[in-house]
Structure 1
Amino acid sequence: MLDRRSLLKLTAAGAIAAAALVPATAGAAEPPKPAKLTMNVYAGPFEANMRKAVIAPFEADTGIKVELVPSAPPLAKLQAQGASPELDILIAGIVENLIAGQQGLIVKLDPDNIPELKDIYDIAKTPDGVAVNFSALGLAYDKRQWPTPPTSWFDLASDKTPGKIVVRQPDAQNTVAWMAIMAKEMNGTWPEKPEDYKKVGELLTKNLKPRLAAITTNTATTRAGFTNAGAGLAVWTDSQVAAFANESKLPLEFVIPKEGGVMIATTAMVTRTPNKYWAEKLIGYMLRPEAQKIFALNGYYAPSNKTVVVPDDVAAKMVYGQAKIDTLLRMPWDKITPINQQISETFYEAVN
């Protein structure tokens, strides 16, 4: 039988052994707080929502100041800065996310530092980024010219399409996306080479060119296509259509074509910053339900957090909920982006 002294020794040894099994990270202290975090941001409503819904509560809770730099994704600048990036967080689209990852400008996110990731739709996650919110790219149409709504991307190049058409200049993820979808439908598989777009170019020359009112460069010129050029059909996002219809009172509606819509995401990434922990915490604030709801109510930005609840009238104007999200295509950007320039050339040769 063990005496009291032996029993105490055994108990102490057991406690030490048990303590050794506790993960080293449990209760670990947070890393030092930087005085400031810096991130780029899209100017306009997105920036205003970001300041109200994310930056203000983050600064109040942590004491860390956040500097917002209104600009397009500065990939070339980040590449030149190497291991000393001026940005802690990069805000960009899906294609820029792919390029930044390939160039080693961003790092993988740590789910332990961003518990909100567990509530994010799968389509909104990448290995090194997460969509803060997103829109669907589809067709905007004027109901006065389209008593029966358009149903297909091929309505952009149909001899039965009424009125004029507005499309965006080829860029990272707009015109090249719907051209890729057309090529897939015409060829049977996703296009991988410039010549895979030949049939699309021929169709655009035949049916889009005679109806093309404008090739737009931004939101303002797309709006002008409807107000000044009398367009009846355009390629646009659901959030932009909802906002413009509300402001202009034009009878505009949005539809996702039967072939599928394209997710236009606003993706948050962490650069090679020494402030990775706090940058990830800031991204977590972007993913909180209360922040995502503000974006939805004040700009029709679809929440990437599946727990967010919005009014029915707002939900109807965005890709909200799993059923609608399932209508979005998983685009093969790894096949599209490398030949982006050649796709653009095919487009311009077809419509000029």
Structure 2
Amino acid sequence: MISAVMALSSAAGIVQAQDKPTLYLGAYGGSYESIFRDSIIPAFEKTHDVEIVYVPGNSTDTLAKLQAQRNDQQIDVAIMDDGPTYQAINYGLCQSQAQDAKLNDLYDFARFPDDKAAGVGIIAGGLAYNKAIFEEEGWDAPSSWDDLRDERFAGAINVPSISNSYGLYALVMMARMNGGGESDIEPGFQAFERDIAPNVLSFTPSPGKTSELYQNHEIVMSVWGSGRVQSLADTGFPIEFVYPEEGAVALVQGACLVEGTQHAGLAQAFIDYLMSPEVQILLARERGNGPTNKHVVLPEELADKVPYGDRVANLVTLDWNTVNENRQDWTNLWNRRIER
């Protein structure tokens, strides 16, 4: 009898464990994943009695998974850079969150078309430089995207390939500054081909490699993101981020409520959690993200380190529909004309 009772009890426990819902989260790997696993996910799992499985990958990897699983989605929430998020929306992979009142707390540029994604973090794309070397040489700090043309920095700059958001930002900004823009990218290619490429030591998109180039004193300036710069600065390296006078570009990390999820309510609750002040402040501290929630008040020691306050008002955004329509052609041109 005792063994029978134990068997029944064990079976009930198995059924109960199986009944606990599981959310699959597709998002960035590396330190981002570590922050989520250690400091963000456990509290949500406890509050909502849910298990979250983290599926790491860069934005293009996550987008590819969503496309491949279109008819049988395995991911419930996907966090991607804004470019791939716009693509996911256009492919019909994200469902509207318009019924969610929490979206009213976001900056306008952090709300995606038809509210089919919600911004959960802001990174500024601009310039970075080695402050110690600039001071040794008596150089003024860079202040403009045009500083990429300066012959003093010949062979000492890193600009990521346009497969990376930051390289793409530089190309579009140079086009805008020379009479073009997303709908007329040729002026940007001409500026790169004629003036900028000769100054570039490396087109690596790898943040680890970029950090290594700085630490080995192989480069003195780069096109990079504010979060990556802050991570390197936190190690004690004398690097500083610059918001160019023409505008730094807003990279908005979008949270997509995946079309086809079987747990839409829980998935929406998790996205709301990511927009909450406590999580936004944590990501600012641990990741260098600017808050997308306009009501978040950052502690003074964080306010100067991330896109926040007046700096947010001066960020520029790209026409992602035009960019995504042309990106493959631009990549082919880039490979032929710039990275030869």
Pairwise TM-score range, normalised by the shorter structure: 0.7 to 0.9
Q: Spell out, residue by residue over 1:115-158, the C-alpha distance to the aligned partner (whole angstroms, 9 max, x if none).
A: 43222222111121111112100000112343311111121123
Counterparts of 2:217 and 2:330 in 1: how far apart (Å)? 26
How far 1:232 sits from its partner (Å)?
1.0
Q: Is the 8 A contact 2:126 2:244 kept in 1?
A: yes
Which position in structure 2 is the counterpart of 1:61? 47
Q: Is the 8 A contact 1:145 1:163 kept in 2?
A: no
Which of 144, 149, 152 is the matching residue for 2:144? 152
Alpha carbons of structure 1 residues 163 and 317: separation in structure 2 relative to 1, 3 Å: farther
Matched, 1:191 2:182: yes
Which of 336, 339, 345 is the matching residue for 2:323? 336
Counterparts of 1:281 and 1:191 in 2: how far apart (Å)? 36
Note the 1:214-225 alignment, pairs <5 A.
Answer: 214-225=202-213
Which position in structure 2 is the counterpart of 1:303? 291
Identity %: 27
Which position in structure 1 is the counterpart of 2:89? 101
**What TM-score do you get using the length of structure 1 for normalisation?**
0.82
Which position in structure 2 is the counterpart of 1:325? 312
Matched, 1:120 2:106: yes
Larger-gyration structure (1/2): 1
Give ranges in structure 2 of 5+ residues lacking alignment.
1-18
Alpha carbons of structure 1 residues 200 and 81: separation in structure 2 relative to 1, 3 Å: closer
Q: AA paired with 1:260?
A: G
* RMSD across aligned positions (CA): 2.0
Which position in structure 2 is the counterpart of 1:253? 240
Q: Is the 8 A contact 1:176 1:336 kept in 2?
A: no
* Count of residue pairs brought into register by the alignment: 312
Q: AA paired with 1:211?
A: N
Q: AA paired with 2:328?
A: Q
Q: Is the 8 A contact 1:213 1:225 kept in 2?
A: no
Q: Spell out, residue by residue over 1:239-270, the C-alpha distance to the aligned partner (whole angstroms, 9 max, x if none).
A: 111110221x2221111111111112221111
Counterparts of 1:201 and 1:96 in 2: how far apart (Å)? 22
Counterparts of 1:217 and 1:172 in 2: how far apart (Å)? 6
How far 1:280 sits from its partner (Å)?
0.3
Q: Spell out, residue by residue over 1:75-120, the C-alpha distance to the aligned partner (whole angstroms, 9 max, x if none).
A: 23322322420001111111111111111111111433xx432222
**Bigger shift: residues 153-162 or 251-260:** 153-162
Matched, 1:39 2:25: yes
Q: Is the 8 A contact 1:120 1:305 kept in 2?
A: yes
Which position in structure 2 is the counterpart of 1:268? 255
Determine which structure has the larger helix proportion and give its number: 2
**What TM-score do you get using the length of structure 2 for normalisation?**
0.85
Q: AA paired with 2:175?
A: A
Matched, 1:174 2:166: yes
**Bigger shift: residues 118-127 or 236-245:** 118-127
Q: AA paired with 1:289?
A: P
Which position in structure 2 is the counterpart of 1:227? 215
Which position in structure 1 is the counterpart of 2:279? 291
Q: Is the 8 A contact 2:164 2:205 kept in 1?
A: no
Which position in structure 1 is the counterpart of 2:301? 313
Q: Is the 8 A contact 2:227 2:306 kept in 1?
A: yes
Q: Spell out, residue by residue over 1:260-314, the C-alpha distance to the aligned partner (whole angstroms, 9 max, x if none).
A: 1111222111112121111101111111111111111112211111222222232
Counterparts of 1:86 and 1:163 in 2: how far apart (Å)? 45
Q: AA paired with 2:97?
A: L
Per chain length, whose mean CA-contact separation is higher, i.e. which structure has more relative contact order (CA < 8 Å, sep 6+)?
1
Q: AA paired with 1:87?
A: I
How far 1:316 sits from its partner (Å)?
0.7
Determine which structure has the larger strand proportion and give its number: 1
Matched, 1:79 2:67: yes
Counterparts of 2:126 and 2:81 in 1: how far apart (Å)? 17
Q: Spell out, residue by residue over 1:34-78, the C-alpha distance to the aligned partner (whole angstroms, 9 max, x if none).
A: 611111121222122223443212111111111111123432332
1:231 partner SS: coil
Give ranges in structure 1 of 5+ residues lacking alignment.
1-32
Q: Is the 8 A contact 1:172 1:340 kept in 2?
A: no
Q: Spell out, residue by residue over 1:224-246, the C-alpha distance to the aligned partner (whole angstroms, 9 max, x if none).
A: 22122521110111111111022
Counterparts of 1:341 and 1:110 in 2: how far apart (Å)? 31
Q: AA paired with 1:200?
A: G
**Bigger shift: residues 150-159 or 203-212:** 203-212
